[in-house]
């Protein structure tokens, strides 16, 4: 017998170890089965479980369990990303707390510290995912710095290097001064912020005139090597080629013409600082301007800046430059201005455009192929609206800066020869120059962007570049589930690398789940402190409750708003499922179920519940196939709670009391079969409680588990819409009668006579259900009308497809009820008068706090609504009395 109360902690701690010990999640190559392969979006090795992980991994687990029950050989590969920037930052922070200066260590010593940290503290999130019930193949766990995956990264680098698609060059990059490393465009978060636009006068070298330039970054003017105007700007055509004297620095700089200049911005004159602006870099390349870098890698003014500014950080230098320009009389004006500020996605430090030598991957050719497979439908994005976002990025793609100035990561596999100056690219450690044979070589100190390893994830986890049996069987993978905010970082790049390395797409379906937000719509973050700890939520509510609640409340491809209390829905549903199974045990205690119940499906209740069950199977299966998981969760929730527990069980109680032993055995067999089917449909969503109840539902042989069972098979022959409509009408009659009794505060023992006007087919079903209808609705009997006319003293019940009237004569003192209503209306009118007076008082409306006035208006509207409701009830009663 089941315990009285559902104890999620005891159940969850029991079943997950059993699943793991019995290798339920393990996958091996099986040519007789079709694989369904999912690779987990690898969380950072520094990561902790958060609500975004809960949603993303619950969706993946639902799909894996569903496909496994449909006969697929499922393989869900877990793993972690080495997270170059995040991990190095965390390890350095910990070292400094211990009094160790990270910069004092050699590269090898530092990396040893990182590996030790990874062993002791890294990968906590992978262990936490077990608490959520994730059915990953833990024997296949991978790490992007593992030997095999590292070899894949280096192999891909050399492949692209040999094709000429990887190159090294000096360009303006996004530079994070806090981390002192380059970032790709996708690692920069851009937003508009309040700033200023300063207008400076730059005097002409010859003559008394000057040009006015407008800038949002005055500190960079110290590195100006020119001023640009548009070649067609009539105001300045005559000055092109002349010289200006750069204030403060007193350096002569030319006036150049370039089409990049917008004549309508500011004064139409643009200062050109080639080492500190992407646009200026391009103009300088076109016009042979000088490149002068005036900041170091920490964004501190360097030796190329005037002595008075050296050693200042960029923002202090900004103020100092403005003050000096004002002192010299060159500041014309300052005005408020919105600027697009780029910030590092990790540190949130303002990114500096910086001239630096970096490694880049040419993207144009790979981007075209990656776009074609999506536009051709070989890869389907869900929701489809993301196709346009994906296309826009790929059609406007830039070369990818993949080098990072870090120690932790995959080191650039290129060596420079100190004798002949040649480069040698090698997957293995190079011992000599590949051109001249000299051993005087040195490896590039930079490492690769973290994404340059995870873009190989769908095939590197299966052994590529080796042609393994796993790779041949499991690749391409089946479905990718991820958040849309890494559609560029990761998704598009995986498509590129898969096509380039294997000439095959990496997956054929991508589902973009939404972002988990708080109730105010803010993205959850540690900074805001608005995110609950999922493990605390699991401790309190259970993993099943958390999983079901977050999926139920997350529409297809949309964001969701979550608070801990949201899990009340899931916990309540767990309790409902538990209690339904306890009811079955207690009601049919001592009864042996009749497994031949299908041969005794004569009664309408049996036919109805089986019809609704198979309609639900049909709907849920379709929703899961189309990634509409919230709809699927809603369907099974509504069927189990409302139709099975609220209606079928209520119908079953009187039926089983009146049935003989054989009849009860049939009822038990059918009900067990229905609940068994429900547990199978619920299992992907709520694996723990369903496993527990499935084992209690019948005698189970050792070693049998719910995820190993078949997904319910749809039998369309059992779907009978006529019976469903008839039973819906009967339920409406019962609910409507109960509502009338409650509305008029009539006692439960008040039995009414019912009048019906309906089609003969409907009456036939009502006649079959007559004993149950009379009992559950509290009716003495019913009469079928020959024409649709309400008898005297009756009130109508809203029932689709028929007319129904309850006879209230003898049950209701209409005059007394009217008197009660009049008294209530009078009382409310009395309450309304002072509110109306205050709101008519202009002094109150104008002087009282807005929230006080708004509350007064809201209170008045609510009172008016109550009067309207009571007035309608009074009108209905009067009509009833006149009938």
Which is nearest to 421 in space by CA: 172, 173, 168, 170? Answer: 168
Q: How far apart are CA 752 and CA 774, in angstroms?
A: 9
Task: List, in sequence order, every beta strand (DSSP E) within 527-642.
Answer: 560-561
Any bridge partners for residue 80, and if so which?
143
Q: How far apart are CA 423 and CA 444, in angstroms?
A: 10
Contacts of 122 (CB under 8 A, 6+ apart): 45, 46, 80, 87
Q: How far apart are CA 851 and CA 855, in angstroms?
A: 6
Distant-in-sequence contacts of 551-555, Cβ < 8 A, 24+ apart: 551/55, 551/58, 551/59, 551/62, 551/629, 551/630, 551/633, 551/685, 552/630, 552/633, 552/634, 552/637, 553/630, 554/55, 554/513, 554/514, 554/516, 554/629, 554/630, 555/514, 555/630
Task: List, in sequence order, every beta strand (DSSP E) within 453-553.
Answer: 479-483, 509-513, 516-517
Q: How far apart are CA 285 and CA 228, in angstroms?
A: 13
Task: List, in sequence order, every beta strand (DSSP E) within 762-830.
Answer: 779-784, 794-797, 803-807
Neighbours of 540 (CB within 10 A): 15
- One DSSP character per residue, 638-693 reads HIIIIIIIIIIHHHHHHHHHHS-HHHHHHHHHHHHHHHHHHHHHHTTT-HHHHHHH
Q: Is 362 annotated as a binding residue?
A: no
Q: How far apart are CA 655 and CA 663, in angstroms?
A: 9
At residue 354, φ and ψ (nearest 5 deg) are: -145, 135
Burial class (CB in 10 A: 0-12, 13-18, 19+), 535: middle
Contacts of 389 (CB under 8 A, 6+ apart): 484, 487
CA of 643: how far to CAs of 12, 238, 568, 639, 649, in Å?
A: 28, 85, 21, 5, 9
**Eight-state DSSP code of residue 713:** P
Q: How far apart are CA 704 and CA 687, in angstroms?
A: 14
Task: List, in sequence order, every beta strand (DSSP E) within 207-269.
Answer: 210-215, 226-229, 243-246, 251-257
**Residues 255, 227 contacting (CB under 8 angstroms):** yes
Decide the pairing of beta strands 142-143 and 79-80: parallel
Query: Which helix (H) or strand (E) is 171 found in, with range?
Result: strand 166-176
**Eight-state DSSP code of residue 101:** -
Stated length of the chain: 883
Q: How far apart are CA 101 and CA 88, in angstroms?
A: 13
Which is nearest to 655 in space by CA: 605, 699, 598? Answer: 605
Q: How far apart are CA 279 and CA 420, in angstroms?
A: 35
Q: How far apart are CA 377 and CA 510, in angstroms?
A: 12
Q: How far apart are CA 410 and CA 756, in angstroms?
A: 79
Neighbours of 221 (CB within 10 A): 24
Residues 126-141 as b/e (b if ≥16 CB within 10 A, e otherwise) read bebbbbbbbbbbbebb
**Residues 459, 467 contacting (CB under 8 angstroms):** no
CA of 868: how far to CAs of 67, 101, 692, 828, 871, in Å?
A: 54, 75, 52, 11, 5
Q: Could you list the residues known to form a binding site for ATP, using ranges.
A: 526
Q: Could you list the residues known to form a binding site, using ranges.
A: 526
């Amino acid at each position: 017998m089941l315990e009285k109360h559902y104890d999620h902690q005891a159940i969850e701690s029991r079943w997950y170890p059993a699943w793991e010990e019995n290798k339920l999640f393990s996958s091996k190559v099986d040519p007789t089965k079709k694989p369904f392969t999912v690779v987990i979006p690898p969380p950072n090795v520094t990561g902790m479980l958060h609500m975004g992980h809960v949603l993303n991994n619950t969706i993946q687990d639902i799909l894996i369990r569903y496909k496994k029950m449909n006969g697929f050989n499922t393989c869900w590969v877990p793993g972690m990303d080495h997270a170059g920037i995040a991990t190095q930052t965390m390890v350095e922070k910990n070292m400094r707390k211990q009094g160790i200066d990270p910069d004092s260590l050699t590269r090898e010593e530092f990396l040893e510290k990182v590996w030790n940290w990874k062993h002791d503290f890294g990968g906590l999130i992978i262990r936490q995912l077990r608490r959520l019930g994730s059915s990953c193949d833990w024997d296949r766990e991978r790490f992007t710095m593992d030997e095999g995956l590292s070899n894949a990264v280096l192999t891909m680098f050399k492949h692209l290097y040999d094709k000429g698609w990887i190159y090294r060059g000096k360009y303006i990059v996004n530079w994070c001064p806090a981390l002192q490393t380059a970032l790709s465009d996708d690692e920069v978060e851009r937003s508009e912020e309040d700033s200023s636009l300063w207008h400076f006068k730059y005097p002409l070298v010859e003559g008394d005139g000057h040009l006015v330039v407008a800038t949002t970054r005055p500190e960079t003017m110290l590195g100006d090597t020119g001023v640009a105007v548009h070649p067609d700007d009539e105001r300045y055509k005559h000055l092109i080629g002349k010289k200006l004297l750069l204030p403060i620095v007193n350096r002569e700089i030319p006036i150049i013409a370039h089409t990049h200049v917008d004549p309508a911005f500011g004064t139409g004159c643009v200062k050109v600082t080639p080492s500190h602006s992407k646009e200026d870099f391009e103009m300088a390349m076109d016009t042979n301007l000088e490149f002068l870098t005036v900041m170091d890698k920490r964004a501190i003014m360097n030796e190329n800046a005037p002595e008075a500014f050296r050693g200042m950080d960029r923002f202090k230098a900004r103020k100092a430059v403005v003050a000096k320009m004002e002192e010299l009389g060159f500041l014309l004006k300052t005005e408020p201005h919105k600027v697009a500020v780029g910030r590092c996605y990790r540190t949130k430090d303002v990114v500096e455009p910086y001239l630096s030598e970096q490694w880049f991957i040419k993207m144009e050719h790979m981007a075209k192929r990656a776009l074609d497979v999506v536009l051709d439908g070989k890869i389907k994005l869900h929701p489809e609206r993301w196709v346009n976002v994906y296309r826009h990025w790929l059609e406007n793609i830039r070369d990818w800066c993949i080098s990072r100035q870090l120690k932790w990561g995959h080191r650039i596999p290129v060596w420079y020869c100190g004798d002949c100056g040649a480069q040698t690219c090698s997957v293995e450690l190079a011992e000599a120059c590949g051109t001249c044979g000299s051993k005087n070589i040195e490896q590039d100190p930079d490492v690769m962007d973290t994404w340059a390893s995870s873009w190989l994830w769908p095939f590197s986890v299966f052994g590529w570049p080796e042609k393994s049996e796993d790779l041949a069987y499991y690749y391409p993978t089946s479905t990718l589930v991820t958040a849309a905010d890494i559609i560029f970082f990761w998704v598009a790049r995986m498509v590129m690398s898969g096509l380039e390395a294997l000439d095959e797409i990496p997956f054929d379906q991508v589902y973009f789940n939404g972002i988990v937000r708080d109730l105010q719509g803010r993205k959850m973050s540690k900074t805001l402190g608005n995110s609950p700890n999922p493990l605390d939520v699991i401790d309190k509510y259970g993993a099943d409750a958390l999983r079901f609640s977050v999926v139920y409340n997350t529409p297809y491809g949309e964001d969701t708003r979550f608070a801990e209390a949201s899990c009340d829905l899931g916990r309540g549903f767990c309790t409902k499922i538990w209690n339904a199974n306890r009811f079955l045990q207690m009601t049919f205690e001592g009864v042996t179920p009749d497994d031949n119940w299908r041969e005794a499906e004569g009664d309408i209740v049996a036919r109805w519940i089986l019809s609704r069950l198979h309609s639900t199977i049909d709907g849920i299966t379709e929703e899961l196939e189309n990634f509409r998981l919230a709809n699927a969760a809603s369907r099974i929730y509504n069927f189990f709670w409302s139709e099975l527990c609220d209606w079928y069980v209520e119908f079953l109680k009187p039926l089983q009391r009146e049935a003989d032993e054989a009849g009860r055995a049939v009822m038990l067999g059918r009900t067990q079969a229905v609940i068994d089917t429900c547990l199978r449909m619920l299992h992907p969503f709520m694996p723990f409680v369903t496993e527990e109840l499935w084992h209690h539902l019948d005698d189970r042989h050792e070693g049998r588990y719910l995820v190993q069972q078949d997904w319910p098979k749809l039998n369309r022959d059992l779907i009978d819409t006529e019976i469903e409509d008839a039973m819906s009408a009967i339920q409406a009659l019962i609910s409507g009668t109960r509502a009338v009794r409650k509305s008029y505060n009539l006692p439960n023992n008040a039995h009414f006579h019912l009048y019906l006007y309906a089609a003969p087919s409907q009456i036939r079903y009502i006649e079959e259900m007559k004993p149950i209808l009379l009992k559950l609705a509290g009716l003495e009997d019913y009469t079928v009308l020959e024409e649709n006319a309400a008898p005297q003293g009756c009130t109508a019940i809203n029932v689709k497809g028929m007319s129904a009237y309850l006879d209230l004569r003898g049950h209701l003192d209409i005059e007394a009820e009217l008197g009660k209503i009049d008294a209530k209306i009078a009382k409310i009118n009395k309450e309304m008068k002072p509110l109306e007076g205050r709101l008519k008082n202009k002094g109150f409306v104008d002087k009282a706090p807005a929230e006080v006035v708004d509350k007064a208006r809201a209170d008045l509207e609510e009172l008016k609504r109550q009067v309207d409701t009571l007035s309608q009830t009074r009108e209905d009663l009067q009509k009833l009395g006149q009938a």
